[in-house]
Structure 1
């Protein structure tokens, strides 16, 4: 059941005329909302706007007391536009986007400054804890090329959450995995995302069943 709106919710309205996108939704803090609908309905466009990588024609997004953007008029500059790097948002897609020249441990440590974790020793300790949590203890010195697809996605999950995001965006995070690897990763996400505020884009019913507290259907 959807909770009443409060000043801790994520409240979103996005309009992008060129892409025929016009939708609004809210997510109670600590819950996961699944955006479902056909290709081209605006699901990924909405995530890009929330992440700060696409400016909508009109709309707004606010999480608790933080306004990510407020674009009241397509013909004028936004009233508010927070740069992506300041939004404290974690983004996970089907591509893990790990840095190939960094070790697994270094990949997870990347971005920890945003979570207020400074000093190499502290970051390394935190990264090792996350490696253990995603089932890859002892893999820290490996490079991404030495990992399977499922292992690389586990590292990507650890990297996203180790940065301490206030909001997590999931864009088909399991779509590139084979049918054998997906169930374990789905369960891992269900475990580690508890109490996080999450917007999930997926075409898979199993993802919705395992991860979502509520569903927003886009026609």
Structure 2
């Protein structure tokens, strides 16, 4: 059945979409896009193959909907956790906590990272979507760090954009290592260390740094 018919159902459509999206996210996370089939998603969701096609035109549309669903949930949770009254490092810790939850409990971070790598050479449209997701994350982190600089609690001689890229890269790098070797890589400990290292690096240094001969560049 066509996706258009699925859209015409109105109120009856949404309850059955969510289990399909959850099953799709788990399959894509574990098997990648190429290794995931509509049959596998339907089986894991406990529905018929026809039920999947009732809501989604094909596997690619299901993938894009799953990405949007996951990213929307992740970004909403970050915005709910990072409130304006938090200081910059407190906000950064909340972001890390949300990432840890999605990496270890919901399987959603693995879903994004798995597909992000796979899409580089195989799916240009999806690659653009992931590029925009990463850009939004870096912009958000840079805004958090810039507010800390404006309040005088973080060094003002460090590029907020560069620091945001370091944070984003540190989180994703730690997650990849954890997925590859969960017995040896303690994701919680690494993320906590990342926050501590960022706090030490970005702590205001005042005139002491210049007096010691330090430069004034972003690093």
Q: So what's the TM-score if we normalise by structure 1?
A: 0.24
Q: Which has the higher helix share?
A: 2
Bigger radius of gyration: 2
